[in-house]
Structure 1
Amino acid sequence: MDGTETGWGRPAEPAPRWRALLDRARHGSRAAADEPPEDESQAPPASPQSPQYSQPLPTRRPYNPLSERPAYDGRSFDQGPPQQQPPPPAARPAEQQRPLPQRPVNPLDPRWKGRSQPAPAPAPPVPPPAVQPPPPAAPPATNGRRADPNSFFSPSRGRAEYPQGRAAAPVAPPHPAAPQQFAPQPVMPVRQPPPVQPPAPQPARQPLAPQPVSPGSTGARLEWRQTRPDDELERSVAVLRRKLGTPRVLAFANPKGGVHKTTATVLAAATIGSVRGRGVLAWDDNELRGTLGLRAGSARHARTIRHLLADLIQIESLHGEALLGELDGYLRHASDGSYDVLAGEENPRFAQRLDQATVRRVLDLLRRTHDVICVDTGNNVESVNWQTVMRQADQLVITTVPREDAAFTADWMLDVLDESGMGDLVSNAVTLISCPSPGPLPMLDDFARHFATRTRAVAIVPYDPSLEVGSSIEYADLKQETRTAWLKAASVMIEPFAE
């Protein structure tokens, strides 16, 4: 910039003029501030930095007589030495020439080096310490150390000469005429610990005689034991061994085929019979040629329900051992003798003879000789035979597998029973879910949660390879895990009737 015009198109003041104004603003020169500017048109407008706008700044700080450096006068370092020197102290008014208060002179202060200093007043002489007679000798210290009165680590010396929070007083040198003597410091006696007395011998305790505790007393202690798998197994066995009051009929039903109705009927009878020993029967009441007689029981004869109906009037007139002996000729038995089997007729035309009265007469006859009767029902919910078994049943067992079609058919069957006035049978039913294959089944948990809302209980039995081939069912060939699961499932079916 050439000093004639600013970058914004305004006339600018030359640099020397701006410098003079800045010096007057900093030093507060009133004489320079009263001078009119050479050119009023070029004078800058009033601003907080101009002399016309603000008060003059102080020129310097008060003079410090104790400092060799001059006081800072507010100027920048590029302005050179000050133009005016402050007046000497003698030229100041009388009210400002008061004597400054004097403070003690520090001889080590470098600012006073070479200056005249008043001589310090001589210190008063310190009298020599009085010699005191030596006190009686203190007993020696314990803990294996000798007490030294002149030792710095002596507890008495530290407490007497150097109290906490105070500095040690300076010790004056001894008088030259008298020999230097040290007064022994008293040593605090160490407190001796009291002697340890041996414990007094206590009389031997006499063993307390066992006191009888009654079960109802408040002093009886109750112990909680965590339930173990063995305890659950024992509980299931105990339920199956109880008396049932009257013979019970268990109906295994699902209109869908291939949902393990026959397998469930046989294994339920085998499980209950293995615990109770006798009095369990499995009846194949499928009107469309069931296979229960082929998969369970020995083939010592080929008699079926058709032969029993032909001699039903004669057999009904018998009682006691005679009835058992006569009926045994129409039944098949398991290999271990745990349960009996009443096989169904292979001819599908025979289903027409199983009307309501005939089914009731057969069930009444079987109740006279057996405690538990497991019935494998058919698939036609509209048949009189199927409806008669449902109305005569004490416990409904819904068999299904974790498949959507099987679950849908079972759900539909429950709705049919509800509409037929058998709501109590539905609410007391047990859902039995059989696993048809090994490994995890994605729909198993969903089925269990769904049927738990519609039936009393849900039992799950695992997959067993011995049941895969579809041949005769032998309870002894099952794995231990499968037998345990069936034992728990059977106890759930019998539990409402156990006394």
Structure 2
Amino acid sequence: MGWGRGEAVDGSETGWGRQAEPAPRWRALLDRARLAGRGAEHHDVDHRAEETPAPPPETLPRRAAGTGWTGRAQAVARPADASFGAEPAYRVEATYRVEPAHRVDPRYGGEPAYQAEPAYRAEPEPRAEPSWRAEPEPRAEPSWRAEPVRPPEPGYPEPPPRGRGTASVESRYALLDGGYQPEAAPPESRYALLDRGRYRPEAHPDPEPARIEPPRIEPARVEWRAPEPETELERAAGVLRRELGGPRVLAFANPKGGVHKTTATVLAAATVGSVRGRGVLAWDDNELRGTLGLRAGSARHARTIRHLIHDLAQIEILEGATLLEHLDDYLRHASDGSYDVLAGEESPRFAQRLDQFTVKRVLELLRRTHDVVCVDTGNNVESPNWRTVMQAADQLVVTTVPREDAAFSADWMLDLLHEEGMGELADNAVTLISCPTPGRTPLQDDLERHFATRTRAVAVVPYDPALETGSSIEYHQLQAETRQGWLKAASVMLEPFAR
């Protein structure tokens, strides 16, 4: 490669036989800065140097190693006495300059890429932080947090004052964190001394400032009051509502007719049924023509004990609800539904005496379906059905009226029961005296005293005009006094079994 000015030196090949290094960017910038610093006095010299053609350089032998500047710049002027091939003396100020070819070359010339970009602007001055970031000054604690000032105790040193600004350098929290311990513990309060039994103040201290105490809610006071004494009627109704420990049979008996056996059987069943609500039955066990079915219950059918005995074998093998459903076809019901009625035979043509075995089967069937069975026993004490009912009865009720013949018949029956081995039944019997007329007779007092010695209790039921006609008995149509009398009498009958 020659050193002539007409040849373009791009820096890709050196004059020393190896690849030239690319001109660094800072060199082009340095040359430009030097050219700009020369001033106006060197401008003409540069033009003259460019106008004067330089002699062609002679060919030089290759060197062993390059200087690193070969091909990057050429001498503008050469001294006349310099020997050919020697290194020219380079002037820093005006000898060297960048060739135009190198200025055009984007790799060595000033490029837009090396200009200051807008992104590299100077950072703006830091703005002052807004006031809200500054920590606020600590506010003084409200007065309600401050402990009230107590007067000093007599005989004790005054405690040191407690102030928030006592520590100048370290805050109170730093002292606490560092395990600060006061030099002397404050004296014990008067309350602690009182608990130990040592403090006995000679005089009361000044009263503390008045405080607004919250309203005190007094606890509810439960006052115990003795229950009011239970009335006799309430006690009687309570007895009838209790469990009886199983089905109970009440036998109403007196060999004398017209002594209110049927009336007593109906009203006793109606009274117990009105309190208990269900499970009560009245049975007319009169071997002759009985009237219980006519005086009690609705005439929804004409079936009697005879029809039940005819189908007894098919009914007694049933159980539960099926048994109640089939037995209901043979029973009559009170108008208010409080009790059931098993009527006796009402036609003299079909009247028949029941044997002992049949009576037991009927009683066993009724015990399975009802809690209380009231039986009208009739007048024949020699009949097997009368004796069978007496032997199966849980409670005997001797009915009578204030008449001597009725009382004599009842007294004779009690003697008969003792003779037949049923003295316990007679002694635990209840004598029921029904008043057929209003008012009280002297004979009634004598009868009450007499039967009180022979039976467990004596009950008296008052007269009621609704019973005088002998028609159908409606319990709700009776007078209040009559219903109360029957309520007391029925409770006396069932009281031994109530639990």
Scaled to the shorter chain, the TM-score interval is 0.5 to 0.7
Stretches of structure 2 lacking an aligned partner (at least 5 in a row): 1-215
Residue deviations 1:334-380 (CA, integer Å, cap 9, x gap): 00000000000124565644100000000000111100000001101
2:169 aligned partner: none
Q: Which amino acid aligns with 1:341?
A: V
CA distance in 2 between counterparts of 1:317 and 1:463 reads 44
Trace 1:296-445 onto structure 2 (pairs within 5 A).
296-348=296-348, 352-445=352-445
CA distance in 2 between counterparts of 1:270 and 1:344 reads 18
C-alpha change, 1:273 and 1:225, in structure 2 (3 Å) is closer
C-alpha change, 1:244 and 1:209, in structure 2 (3 Å) is same
The answer as to whether partners of 2:289 and 2:351 remain within 8 angstroms in 1 is: no
The answer as to whether partners of 1:281 and 1:340 remain within 8 angstroms in 2 is: yes
CA distance in 1 between counterparts of 2:472 and 2:337 reads 15
CA distance in 2 between counterparts of 1:450 and 1:393 reads 24
Trace 1:24-423 onto structure 2 (pairs within 5 A).
223=226, 231-348=231-348, 352-423=352-423
Q: Which amino acid aligns with 1:269?
A: A
1:487 aligned partner: 487
1:464 aligned partner: 464
Secondary structure at the counterpart of residue 330 of structure 2: coil
The answer as to whether partners of 1:290 and 1:345 remain within 8 angstroms in 2 is: yes
Is residue 449 of structure 1 aligned with residue 460 of structure 2?
Answer: no
CA distance in 1 between counterparts of 2:410 and 2:290 reads 20
1:169 aligned partner: none
Q: Which amino acid aligns with 1:261?
A: K
Secondary structure at the counterpart of residue 381 of structure 2: coil
CA distance in 1 between counterparts of 2:361 and 2:494 reads 24
1:244 deviates by 1.0
The answer as to whether partners of 2:287 and 2:353 remain within 8 angstroms in 1 is: no
Q: Which amino acid aligns with 2:423?
A: G
Quick check: which has more Rg, 1 or 2? Answer: 2
Q: Which amino acid aligns with 1:401?
A: V
C-alpha change, 1:318 and 1:253, in structure 2 (3 Å) is same
The answer as to whether partners of 1:287 and 1:350 remain within 8 angstroms in 2 is: no
CA distance in 2 between counterparts of 1:469 and 1:448 reads 26
C-alpha change, 1:463 and 1:350, in structure 2 (3 Å) is same
1:442 deviates by 1.8
1:288 deviates by 1.3
Residue deviations 1:130-185 (CA, integer Å, cap 9, x gap): xxxxxxxxxxxxxxxxxxxxxxxxxxxxxxxxxxxxxxxxxxxxxxxxxxxxxxxx
CA distance in 1 between counterparts of 2:445 and 2:428 reads 21
CA distance in 2 between counterparts of 1:294 and 1:212 reads 57
The answer as to whether partners of 1:435 and 1:461 remain within 8 angstroms in 2 is: yes
Q: Which amino acid aligns with 2:374?
A: C
CA distance in 2 between counterparts of 1:418 and 1:353 reads 25
Residue deviations 1:444-474 (CA, integer Å, cap 9, x gap): 1111111011111110000000001000000
CA distance in 2 between counterparts of 1:282 and 1:224 reads 37
Q: Which amino acid aligns with 1:384?
A: P
Residue deviations 1:407-439 (CA, integer Å, cap 9, x gap): 000000000000101111011100000000012
Secondary structure at the counterpart of residue 329 of structure 1: helix
CA distance in 2 between counterparts of 1:336 and 1:378 reads 26
CA distance in 1 between counterparts of 2:278 and 2:222 reads 44
1:209 deviates by 5.7
1:58 aligned partner: none
Q: Which amino acid aligns with 1:371?
A: D
Which consecutive segments of 4 or more residues in structure 1 shift more than 6 A? Answer: 210-213
Q: Sequence identity, in percent?
A: 76
C-alpha change, 1:337 and 1:443, in structure 2 (3 Å) is same
Aligned length: 284
Q: Which amino acid aligns with 1:326?
A: H
Stretches of structure 1 lacking an aligned partner (at least 5 in a row): 1-205, 214-220
1:475 aligned partner: 475
Secondary structure at the counterpart of residue 431 of structure 2: strand
Q: CA RMSD in A?
A: 1.9
Secondary structure at the counterpart of residue 278 of structure 1: coil
CA distance in 1 between counterparts of 2:388 and 2:350 reads 16
CA distance in 2 between counterparts of 1:226 and 1:483 reads 22
Q: Which amino acid aligns with 2:404?
A: E
CA distance in 1 between counterparts of 2:332 and 2:403 reads 33
C-alpha change, 1:496 and 1:351, in structure 2 (3 Å) is farther
Please give the TM-score of this superposition, normalised by the length of structure 1. Answer: 0.55
